[in-house]
Amino acid sequence: QHNEVKLRGRKQGIEESTLEYYYGVLDLCRRVDPHMAEATKLAHLWQGLRPSVLEKLWSLKPTN
C-alpha cells in the first residue's frame, strides 16, 4: 500500500533526468503489481513528467 501511494504521487524532480524518473516509476510499478498492464505503466509515467519534458514529447508526436 505504501508503494501505491508513492507511485500515485511520483513526480519527476527538477534535477532528475528523464531516464532516472522512468526507471524509478517502472520499479514502483513492479513493486505494486508485477503483472501491471503496459498501458497503466505508461499512464503513471506520463502523469509525473515535468511540464517541460511533456512539451518536448508532444511536439515530437506525429499528427497523422
pLDDT tens-digit readout, 42-55: 999 999 999 999 88
Measured CA to CA, the distance from residue 30 to residue 37 in angstroms comes to 10
Coil vs helix vs strand at 14:
coil
Q: What is the pLDDT of residue 36?
A: 98
Given phi > 0 = left and psi -120 to 50 = alpha, else beta, which region is 63? alpha
pTM for the predicted model, two decimal places? 0.84
Q: According to DSSP H, which parts of 1-64 are helical? A: 2-9, 18-32, 38-48, 51-60
Q: Please, which residues have CB within 8 angstroms of residue 54's CB and are 6 or more apart in sequence? A: 46
